[in-house]
Structure 1
Amino acid sequence: MMKTPDPHLFKSGRDFAAWMGLTPKDHSTAGKTRHGVITRAGDELLRSTLVVGATAVVQHARNGRGRNLTPWLIGLIGRKSPKLVAVAVANKAARVAWKLMVSGERYQCVAPPALTAVAA
């Protein structure tokens, strides 16, 4: 059973990720933008499944067991806390899933160039 509405109802993958609750709350005033915790909108089970899967990816990357690590992920692990990185990876996975659902294409993993060091 599909847990998402028709993907064509969303204008972009960003809107789809926001519907899932994988974007930060916006606390803006007087032109200052402040982002808070994730919104937790959408289906809780679907969101938590994506975050748990992303957490596993982050743990493997931090322990040096990850394969096909991108420079984006390695840089994020070096700058942010593991939980924040997991939500960012889940957000990215949701956007990819939206694109695949809308286009009807199959996922094709494109291996990044070999990386020698992993940020711990």
Structure 2
Amino acid sequence: KLAMIPGIGPITASALVASIGDAKNFDGGRQVAAWLGLVPRQHSSGGKSNLLGMSKRGDTYLRTLLIHGARSVIYRVSQRADACSWISSVVNRRNKNVAAVALANKNARIAWALLAHDRQFDAGYVHSTAVA
């Protein structure tokens, strides 16, 4: 399931499954990303939030695999002429390394969602809330 996510191959997928184990032990995708060290470090006080760079805490091996996979996706998107995806807009706004960490964070959250809810990857998936 995880190897279908762009930027995650068989090695990264098997390492994620082996390290995470039961995804339901985590409350959400952000908790998995924080566990991997892919979220900004906070230095906040008194209601004033100050976000610093990537925390770099957690599993170095998994974080490296996710970031390298994200870099390969960014490289492939930059080669296409009709690149109008989320990652191309991030690359246009920010540095490529910042965009790679953002995509790695997004992939970690998607991986948690697929494992926790036992779903297949769908690139066009839109979460719909139940309307009563």
Question: Above 0.5 in TM-score?
Answer: yes
Please report the TM-score for the alignment, with normalisation by the length of structure 1: 0.79
- Given that 1:14 and 1:95 are in contact with CA atoms closer than 8 Å, whether structure 2 keeps it comes out as yes
The yes-or-no answer on 1:59 pairing with 2:42 is no
Structure 2 residue aligned with 1:86: 100
The yes-or-no answer on 1:11 pairing with 2:46 is no
| 1:32-81 Cα deviation digits (max 9, x unpaired) | 322112112221111110000001111222233787x52x2222111100
SS of 1:40's equivalent in the other structure is coil
TM-superposed deviation, 1:6: 2.3
Structure 1 residue aligned with 2:119: 105
Please report the TM-score for the alignment, with normalisation by the length of structure 2: 0.72
Could you say what the CA RMSD is over the residues aligned between the two structures, in angstroms? Answer: 2.1
- Given that 2:74 and 2:88 are in contact with CA atoms closer than 8 Å, whether structure 1 keeps it comes out as no
Name the structure with the higher helix share.
Answer: 2
Identify if the C-alpha distance between structure 1 residues 26 and 107 changes in structure 2 by more than 3 Å, giving closer, same or farther: same
Amino acid at match of 1:88: A
Please say which of residues 74-83 and 87-96 is displaced more in the overlay: 74-83
Larger relative CO (CA 8 A, sep 6+): 1 or 2?
2
- Given that 1:17 and 1:23 are in contact with CA atoms closer than 8 Å, whether structure 2 keeps it comes out as yes
Aligned counterparts of 1:34 and 1:64: Cα–Cα separation in 2: 36
The yes-or-no answer on 1:77 pairing with 2:96 is no
- Given that 1:21 and 1:42 are in contact with CA atoms closer than 8 Å, whether structure 2 keeps it comes out as yes
Q: Which runs of 5+ in 1 are unaligned?
A: 112-120
SS of 1:3's equivalent in the other structure is helix
TM-superposed deviation, 1:24: 0.6
